[in-house]
A and B are shown apart, each in its own frame.
Chain A
Amino acid sequence: MAKVHVPFDLRHLAEGAAVLEVRGTCYRSLMAALRDRYPVLEAALVRDKAFVLDGEILDSPLLEAVAPASEIHFLPRIGGG
């Protein structure tokens, strides 16, 4: 199962967990699995954070493949000048 690193400021929405093991073969299925367990966390992640898969920030993810060994992070959104 992929390792989902819960953002420091949202861990209270995951019973304090820093890392969750979540089953999913792509972004969509991974987030669906996360929503089943922590719906408020999932909503906050989708609304406020950028999705990072194995070190790469992905804009507008949906079907990107997630491997069992994948590391998932969620970051504040980044713009640019």
Chain B
Amino acid sequence: MSEAMDFKVIGTRPIRPDGVDKVTGRASFGADFSLPGMLEGAVLRSPHAHARIKSIKTDAALAASGVKAVVTGADFPQVAAGAIEGGEGGGDFADLAGNVIARGKVRYHGHAVAAVAAQSRAQALAALALIEVEYETLPAVLSLDAALAESAPLIDEGLMTSGLAEPATAPSNLASVIEMGNGDLDAGFADAALIVERRYQTPTVHQGYIEPHACVGRWGQDDQAMLWCCTQGAFDVRSMTAKVLGQPVGSLKVIPSEIGGGFGGKTTVYLEPLALLLSKKSGRPVRMVMTREEVFRATGPASAATIDLRMGFSQDGKITAAEATMAYEAGAFPGSPVGPGTMCVFAPYRIANFRIKGMDVLVNKPKAAAYRAPGAPQALFATESAMDEAADKLGIDPIELRLRNAVEEGDSAIYGPKFGPIGLRACLEAAAAHPHYTKAKDAGVGRGVAVGFWFNVGLQSSAEVHINEDGTVTVIEGNPDIGGSRASMALMAAETLGVPYESVRVVVADTETAGFTNVTGGSRVTFATGMAVVEASKDIIAQCCSRAASLWSTDEDMVEWRDGAVHPRPGVNVEAKPLSLKDLAGKAGRTGGPLLGKASLNARGAGPGFSVNLCDALVDQETGQVQVKAFTAIQDAGKAIHPSYVEGQLQGGAVQGIGWALNEEYVYSPEGVMENAGFLDYRIPVASDLPMIDTQIIEVPNPGHPYGVRGVGETPIVAPLAAVANAVSASAGVRMTELPLSPPRVLEALDQA
């Protein structure tokens, strides 16, 4: 891409095409769909965090009024182990199937044990109470320390730790170990004038999407099935559901609804296989909708983590050595994001001597799911807290300390590869010059700085561009629109084709209409699917040039595309007026048929994203309550296709990160029952808790994308945890190392100081 590119529509801020439907209530979300004869489904969930299922009796439930079908784990096929592909990582089909419905053992409070379909939801719920399950309860394992204790109860009796130098000889709750390292750690610490060494802890938190999981499943008599559901990836739902049910992928059509938030939590399946099997048994469509309580007890969450960190610094602030031991809760099945965590923990900095050890640990909690930049917020909470403490102790400005160590283009990341063009230094310099940073703090206010990082990913995408007979444009793509991607795709198509934004309509299609497309996640949609839309638009341009050349009886290399029309090349002696897209659309039938551009690709060249956050916070010394007084999010977007939606991503990530830092956590009873499974007790930030989140977009173009795009959805949640904690620590005068910084925890720290 060219930095000097003169954009006409990219970078503008048109109204999102789905906006009116969403603000007027006309948009259809997961629970809004219905079919004639549809039944309502409900799930019986485990009342124990850890127990063997000795027997399940469903006869009484099946005989109850209105009940048409009951399923248990015994109705599902055994699923062989095998990695789930699609870019979410850390998953296995057998574990997925075991999480959808328990077989033999329940692994967390809320684990699905049986499901019922009845003519009404009340009848389905009444029938659940008639299912008799005999359990043999087992001790619940609820923390990393408890899970790793020598005598810990085993959650999976067959789990042998992978990643060890010598094969494990006995099962344990430690699913895998990852180690990275370079240089001479001892020598690095010996050179240090200052060593910061602490344990940092983050809690189990939920993605907190507003729309609960919901779907409608319909199994046909010909064994062809359909699913309507809210998901971040219809193709992923298709492959996962087909695998859990032992059906060919092609027998299942998935139609994505609008989605009321996902943040990674809607990249897997929970209800969908249950609804389809209930439909198969009953011969009727089945709708299933989770309550908020079920969402908390059985979906998500993001991993709790404990990170033991040690960093050494020279007197002038250079990092001489760094070491991290990182344990992440996987939940009841392997697959925490500790792998990305180990790569992110020191990613912003040049460090010659380091060791990192990551551990994926089973506990009796719901299986961890992706949550924006999975694994990174926990990791950089630790590192950026230590950087802040080092800056304070060395008497160096915290941004200057980071600038002295920041990675740049050409540096090798601690995880190996060299960085291309990146924007960390630009973000830090922008932060240093920002009015938020240069203005004096109010009395008692603490100011925190933190850096965020995420790799960003590419993966597979498809797109079609259809030119209608009046020259308007329809784009068909397969990524559910979470963050404004319809608008972004329309802008990129309009820019490429040289037509107005308003003439482009983007359709999010089902799995039988759109070409295969990986999940909406990983910060890949604007990058990868955007690239497919640009390629499909270029396919249209090539066809237009070919047809115009034929009409002008000249060769294709005698014409060119410019300003939304085909022109004779300068100097070519053709008597012709330029032919616009509209002109050629009108002649499509007479020049070869409809204009239809296609592209499918496995996108390469995703550019990493860096951010810097600034936070001012005031601690009430009497109550421990924290007020966020000011917050600024600065991030490299490569090129902001629609700046308002980039700003929205930065603001949304900041708010979620502030919630993670200040209040959000799963509170468990000793028996492993979540005690705050609702938004009244699980406290996410609301507007009255927050200042206006200021944003600044930095644009260091990504050479891997035709318009310079980097993903922007993940990085914004990474830095806020440490930015808030650093501000709170400064205001409180006490270093805070365990999240959340809720009033009781802050008050306890103040009392002990």
Contact = CB atoms under 8 A, between A and B. Distances in A.
Interface residues of B, number: 57
Contact of B522 (A48, A54, A76, A79): A79
A8 B456 CA distance: 23
Interface stretch (B114-122, B196-204, B366-374, B730-738): B366-374
Contacts of A79: 87-90, 264, 267, 337, 340, 370, 374, 457, 521-522
Interface string A3-35: 001011100100000000000000000000000
Among B90, B415, B523, B704, max chain A CB count under 10 A is at B415
B524 A80 contact: yes
Given A55-B418, A57-B455, A59-B87, A80 B602 contact: no
A41 interface: no
Given A57-B417, A75-B343, 20 more contacts: A8-B181, A9-B163, A54-B417, A56-B417, A56-B605, A59-B602, A60-B602, A73-B417, A75-B415, A76-B340, A76-B342, A76-B343, A79-B88, A79-B340, A79-B521, A80-B373, A80-B523, A81-B264, A81-B521, A81-B714
Nearest to B704: A56
B179 A52 contact: no
B494 to A, nearest CB: 27
Contacts of A8: 179-182
17 contacts: A9-B165, A48-B163, A56-B704, A57-B455, A57-B457, A59-B87, A73-B416, A75-B415, A76-B339, A76-B358, A77-B90, A78-B340, A79-B88, A79-B340, A80-B264, A81-B264, A81-B371
Contacts, number: 114
**Dominant SS at the A interface?**
mixed
Interface string A50-80: 0010111111100000000001010111111
B372 to A, nearest CB: 4
**Dominant SS at the B interface?**
loop
A9 B605 contact: no
Nearest to A11: B165
Interface of B: 83, 85, 87-90, 162-163, 165, 177-182, 207, 262-265, 267, 337, 339-340, 342-343, 358, 370-374, 415-420, 454-460, 519, 521-524, 602, 604-606, 704, 713-714
B339 A78 contact: yes
Contacts of A81: 207, 262-265, 267, 370-374, 521-522, 713-714
Interface residues of A, number: 24
A55 B523 CA distance: 18
Interface of A: 5, 7-9, 12, 47-48, 52, 54-60, 71, 73, 75-81
B162 A48 contact: yes
A73 to B, nearest CB: 4
A80 B605 contact: no
A56 B704 CA distance: 10
A64 B460 CA distance: 15
Contacts of A55: 417-420
